[in-house]
Amino acid sequence: MSTRFPLRLFALPVAFALFLGLGQGIAWAEPKGFNLLEELEQALVSLADKVRPAVVSLSPYVPPSPSIRKQDSLNKGRPNNAGAGVIIDAENGYIATNSHVVRSSDKIQVTLFGGKKVVGHVVGTDDDTDLAVVKIPVESSLTSVQFGDSSALRVGQMVVAVGNPYGLSETMTMGIISGLNRENVNLSRYEDFIQTDASINPGNSGGPLLNIRGEVIGINTAIINYAQNIGFSIPANIVKRITTQLLENGEVRRGWLGVGIEVVKPELAAKVDVPEGNGVLINSVFEGDPAERAGLRVGDIILKIGGVAVNSPTRMIRIIGVISPGQTIQLDILRDGKPQTIPVKLDNYPKKNSKQASLSNPHEKFPALGIELEPASGEIDNSDKGLVIKEVIIGSVAESKGLKPGDKILAVNGDSIMSHTQYENIIGKIQQGASVFLLLTRNEKKFHLTLVREN
């Protein structure tokens, strides 16, 4: 060891000198593949030149006043709700972004490439997919982007994200597609995300994820705060469909079946001879909704919807959500182990009195079951037991099971509910992830439902 160590120290500067060789007349040979790296570099530079003019910065518009200007001069940080957007129609000034970027703001300050600021307005939002469209006046020539086909994506493809992380405008980062069809990450109701390791930070929300051709393959929407290099984007095909509806209707219209569903447990799957991971079990059917009118029952297992296989509650919600209200679909089900096909005419998905969960942590500020309650009639007394559901949190297990504002909870785990305090005491003793058995009424009819405590 004592003889080799000095030789290694000597070899390092000699090798470095040989590598440089500039003043010694030593010729430097380009490494194999160097031209390929130069071509890749030039492709990325060209891509940046092509797409950055189509990416904008968005923040809530605040009318100017002396006090506000003074406040702004003291606070140089990133504005609340600041995010990015991408111009999808240069001729008419339409911009796609996330709904959480423009939430609670009718007017939006838009900073264009080069720093010019204009005021736009929100055309429409869709909290269920976290997408929105903003329109700005077209006072000069704008640059728009082209959409790619997100259904053709493959894990390992190179991607580029463009946005305004922490107010650093026109920032471009590079990575790969790390995963596809990601769901159950509690970011929105309809989850089918592209996962990427391209660096995404606050301020990237609403900006584009692009392939190496410069086509938009997704809209960046969120990151996992406690992880590194795990970001999620909404696939381009979903973005195209939702933005088209927002531009045409100002809202998104989705189908509604009216059932509560859950996974098919292994013991039930074995009993009815269904491969594990196939189908979803109906655990409740709501009065007056399409499922009840069509004759669906608690205990039915839905295998296919319109010929498309169903393998999870999330996937079923997604399939129903892309079908237009009023359309009749064929449901392939198992009832008592026997296959049947039942036609169902879908209603319009009810949105009234629902609200979107926080994207950073959907259940951080909301109750354990994803519902907010109020007394049945002003103040609860011994003659009027129960609590009425006031709001259902979108993306919660309660919402996926079909609970609605107006449903009344009579009992939890067999205990009659007489007050909100009693309800909180019962729920407080139930561990996260444990089952909660509810007795409810809707339109004076009782039904039972099993939920899972989420937080």
Specify which residues 452 forms β-bridges with: 435
> Residue 130 catalytic?
yes
Element (H, E) at 346: none
Specify which residues 328 forms β-bridges with: 345
Q: Spell out the residues 6+ positions from residue 180 whose beta carbon is closer than 8 angstroms to its own.
A: 153, 154, 155, 194, 195
Contact status, residue 306 vs residue 323, Cβ threshold 8 Å = yes
What gap in Å lies between CA 162 and CA 87, rounded to an integer? 12
What gap in Å lies between CA 176 and CA 194, rounded to an integer? 10
Relative to beta strand 387-394, strand 354-356 is parallel
Of the listed 126, 127, 128, 130, which one is catalytic? 130
R_g of the chain, CA atoms, integer Å: 27
Element (H, E) at 329: strand 328-335
Q: Spell out the residues 6+ positions from residue 202 whose beta carbon is closer than 8 angstroms to its own.
A: 78, 82, 165, 166
What gap in Å lies between CA 342 and CA 333, rounded to an integer? 8
What gap in Å lies between CA 122 and CA 93, rounded to an integer? 12
Phi, psi of 229 (to 5 degrees): 60, 35
Burial readout 143-167 (b: 16 or more C-beta within 10 A, e: otherwise): ebbebbebeebeeebebbbbbbbee
* Nearest in space to 85 (alpha carbons), one of 97, 76, 73: 97
What's the half-sphere exposure (Cβ side, CA atoms, 13 Å) at 88?
A: 27
Of the listed 99, 150, 188, 205, which one is catalytic? 205
Q: How far is CA 237 from CA 177, 215, 359, in A?
A: 16, 12, 21
Q: Spell out the residues 6+ positions from residue 107 whose beta carbon is closer than 8 angstroms to its own.
A: 60, 61, 119, 120, 121, 122
> Residue 121 catalytic?
no
What gap in Å lies between CA 429 and CA 425, rounded to an integer? 7
Of the listed 57, 59, 99, 100, which one is catalytic? 100
Q: What residue spans of 275-339 are helical by DSSP H?
A: 290-294, 313-321
> Residue 205 catalytic?
yes
Catalytic residues: 100, 130, 205
